[in-house]
Structure 1
Amino acid sequence: MNNSLTNRLGELAKLFFKMGVISFGGPAAHIAMMEDEVVKRRQWLTSEHFLDLIGATNLIPGPSSTEMAIHVGYIYAGWVGLIVAGASFILPAALITGGFAWVYVTYGTLPQVAPLLYGIKPAVLAVILNALWRLGKKAVKTSKLLVIALGVAALVLLLNVNEAIALLIGGLLGMFWLHFPAKRNSPEDNTNLLIAGLTTGATLKATAAVGASAATASAANVSLWQLGLFFLKIGSILFGGGYVLVAFLQGGLVEEYGWLTQQQLLDAIAIGQFTPGPVLSTATFIGYIIAGVPGAIVATVGIFLPSFFFVAALNPLVPRLRASKWTAAFLDAVNVSSVALMAVVTLQLGAATLLVAKAPYVDFVALAIALLSAVLAIRFNINAAWLVLGGALIGWLFFTLGLYPIK
């Protein structure tokens, strides 16, 4: 291995391990932080290429932010970079979640992290808004793309359409509206259109294949291969992020197999929500409860492994998709639809973070943290890691001094 590649792998490991430690707030926040690091600061990718990867990643199963890390690793340092970036991003979340699982099993309680999250959430909101503005300027190239973005946002917000379906609708609409054929398709266009069709068609078939069965077992005698296979199936078909994950885990672990109690599942989900990194690290917690350290390892590998294969298969196709006029239009529409979905998540996160149920209906402390973080990010280019750490410190101080109640 030459020195240049070794240096690149070291850069990838350092960057994505750090991001795995401080990336609170879900996939939108993770992607916002990656955009700041790999596009704005290091210039490993252009904004356009980064958007293409977001759009492509949203068309395949698995955790989108983890798959973005894997994409960046592959582009920057090849196959080894693919593994290093993905593993470095996943490892901190798995270790932190595993530590919480040990505390939970040993003492029967969850650690109190609400004060830290109180300050982190508004800081993360500012990070997402900063990235949303930059990505939106690149994605919304025409008035037609703006209409598509608004339409996709309306489908999700008003009609509760599944995010993957809304994304596919936006892409197909854009493919025909942005590039209505004036002449017969060339063989190259047909080939690239087939690639896009196979990619998105496979996602819909996979989504419908959720109900795979396995032998019934109790938590006391669950074998590692059963546990690993269960999470491997979830990692292969999961669309829609954390909320869909909850449905899969409830149906499989609690109702069908009886490996977990309802309360254990709720506690596992809570751990996944307030730890940094990908929310699928919930699998680490569940694996530890069911089968100790070996179970944690098997569950973690099982749920994340498909993402590495999906990215390895998809990444070489992205430039080819961009080269065809038909599929380039599809990709443009998917990109702007992805930004629209990110905007929807930002609205939901903003409402949950800044609004309260009674007068004055606005959490002014959280609002102040969000505004200060936004100014520091946009005007002074402060790194997202410092914003997250600063928000956590403010939340802890307010809670410790009793100056403001935790919601």
Structure 2
Amino acid sequence: MNTVASKNEGGIVDVPAAPTFNEALKVWAKIGLLSFGGPAGQIALMHKELVEERRWIGEQRFLHALNYCMLLPGPEAQQLAIYIGWLLHKTVGGLVAGILFVAPGAVVMLTLSTLYALYGDAPLVESLFFGVKAAVLAVVVEAVIRIGRRALKNRIMVSIALCAFIAIYALKVPFPLIILFAGLAGWAGNRIAPALFSGQAHGKDNAPDLKGAVDVMFERGELTHTRPTKWHAPRTIAIWLPIWLGPVLLVWLLTGTASVWTQIGGFFSLMAVVTFGGAYAVLAYVAQAAVESFGWLAPGEMVDGLGLAETTPGPLILVLQFVGFIAAFRHSGALSPVLAGSLGALLTLWATFTPCFFWIFLGAPYIEALRGNKALSAALGAITAAVVGVIVNLALWFALHVIFREVRGVGLGMDVPVLSSIDWRAALLSCAAMVAVLKLKIGMLPTLAGSALAGVLLLAVSR
């Protein structure tokens, strides 16, 4: 491995040379194929590959980039890949890194969605998904605990999480408004009581100063594309807004306002703007719209889609691709259902992930201005706390529709289970999956596989 000399705190040290485009291409493909485990696992994989093993990017710059991506709507792990790819090889590097991060999982998800739509009613497939739903519930509960430990550092943050839960569960406040108010609370709280709002979502300020190739390039003045010009923002907006919204507007003009295609393009473009906090945070909102507002899915099918997304590489938010596929499959019109579903999945992918490139290419050159900004860090901390409350709502929503056959509405729009409709088999599998994930620390994929097999066996002996 080629190295270059750089001056660090301990003197002159060797730092790996910047990778060639072909070298980076191979690593981005590897990350895209191995990025299982949700955003936490994907970020850890990138840190291992890019910071620890290859030292293409330094520790502090990696954490700073991650905090920036956490401020953006959309999947932060993919945005981090785009950002680092852009640092290394400009716009084409960001495009390659972002596309390869999503493409393998998207291909797998399209295949699984097709099989689900065609054969989901088969007894064996139904039995498999019966067990998968139990494991998904356990995974969501584990996400609540993991994120909660990081975000709920004091009573103020616990209170924000509680308010967010009440707002979305009992009052049906739209998810974007919850995020907006949480961010404003963090910003204002930083001015009133900064000690209570100073936590960051990721990393620590005293992380080891491990330099990488990008840092050396920056010191030498080679990263000229990272310096914003007065025309950078207008030029980026003029290029990327038409790229993102052009196909959506074209679909609207060709098919009309009421078509499923316009609904898919418009709805998921909106999701791309408001999906702060990652996939888990927005799933309850998407599930509510897909099931109740549009009628694309049944409640249990949203859980099935999340189970499929958990088994694929790439962002967990690929579950939206499943929603778009099923919506178009069932409203195919003159097209064959599989073709319509595939086009619906493609339109969903476009509306969901194209904005990620827009956010990074627009804002990345200004990232240095965000370094050390305490007000933004406080807003991010409050948003993360609110996300915990939203994910608790998601876990409750899943539990109601997995363990109980019937739910009913009560005052304030809340749903409660009909206790006599409990499915003891689903409850048993859910408890077992939670023990596997939380107590025995069994991985996500083995838990999903084991739960699916257990579902088949349990349904076979109880019929």
Q: Normalising to structure 1: TM-score of the pair?
A: 0.66
Tell whether 2:77 aligns with 1:84: no
Q: How far, CA to CA, are the matches of 2:189 and 2:166 in structure 1? A: 18
Q: Give the drift of 1:228.
A: 6.0
The alpha-carbon distance between structure 1 residues 129 and 34, as it changes in their structure 2 partners (threshold 3 A), is: same
Q: Which residue of 2 aligns with 1:98?
A: 114
Q: How far, CA to CA, are the matches of 1:344 and 1:48 in structure 2? A: 29
Q: Give the drift of 1:397.
A: 0.7
Equivalent positions of 1:206-221 (< 5 A) are 214=253
Larger proportion of helix: 1
Given candidates 304, 307, 310, the residue that maps to 1:274 is 304
Q: How far, CA to CA, are the matches of 2:381 and 2:352 in structure 1? A: 23
Runs of 5+ unmatched residues, structure 1: 20-32, 183-194, 196-205, 220-225, 251-264
Tell whether 2:265 aligns with 1:232: yes
Q: Give the drift of 1:171.
A: 1.4
Q: Secondary structure in 2 aligned to 1:353?
A: helix
Q: Secondary structure in 2 aligned to 1:241?
A: helix
Given candidates 127, 130, 134, the residue that maps to 1:115 is 127
Q: Give the drift of 1:398.
A: 1.0
CA contact (8 A) 2:138 2:433 kept: yes
Greater Cα offset, 392-401 or 361-370: 361-370
Q: Give the drift of 1:69.
A: 5.0
Q: Secondary structure in 2 aligned to 1:381?
A: coil
- Structural RMSD (CA): 4.2
Q: How far, CA to CA, are the matches of 1:370 and 1:272 in structure 2? A: 17
Q: 1:372 is matched by which residue type in structure 2? A: A
CA contact (8 A) 1:149 1:337 kept: yes
Greater Cα offset, 341-350 or 291-300: 291-300
Q: Give the drift of 1:333.
A: 0.8
Q: 2:458 is matched by which residue type in structure 1? A: F
Q: Which residue of 1 aligns with 2:3?
A: none
Q: How far, CA to CA, are the matches of 1:298 and 1:338 in structure 2? A: 31
Equivalent positions of 1:323-402 (< 5 A) are 323-355=372-404, 363-401=423-461
CA contact (8 A) 2:190 2:374 kept: no
Q: Give the number of aligned pairs.
A: 331
CA contact (8 A) 1:233 1:303 kept: no
Q: Which residue of 2 aligns with 1:8?
A: 27
Runs of 5+ unmatched residues, structure 2: 1-19, 52-58, 87-93, 195-232, 234-244, 275-284, 310-318, 407-417
Q: Which residue of 1 aligns with 2:345?
A: 300
CA contact (8 A) 1:172 1:330 kept: yes
CA contact (8 A) 1:100 1:285 kept: no
Q: Secondary structure in 1 aligned to 2:192?
A: coil
Q: How far, CA to CA, are the matches of 1:342 and 1:49 in structure 2? A: 25
Q: Which residue of 2 aligns with 1:23?
A: none
The alpha-carbon distance between structure 1 residues 51 and 114, as it changes in their structure 2 partners (threshold 3 A), is: farther
Q: Which residue of 1 aligns with 2:278?
A: none
CA contact (8 A) 1:284 1:297 kept: yes
Given candidates 31, 42, 60, the residue that maps to 1:38 is 42
Q: Normalising to structure 2: TM-score of the pair?
A: 0.59
The alpha-carbon distance between structure 1 residues 216 and 175, as it changes in their structure 2 partners (threshold 3 A), is: same
Q: How far, CA to CA, are the matches of 1:320 and 1:345 in structure 2? A: 35
CA contact (8 A) 1:73 1:83 kept: no
Q: Which of the two has higher C-alpha Rg?
A: 2
Q: How far, CA to CA, are the matches of 2:46 and 2:429 in structure 1? A: 27
Greater Cα offset, 233-242 or 317-326: 317-326
Q: How far, CA to CA, are the matches of 1:318 and 1:379 in structure 2? A: 40
CA contact (8 A) 1:8 1:77 kept: no
Q: Give the drift of 1:36.
A: 5.0
CA contact (8 A) 2:252 2:262 kept: no
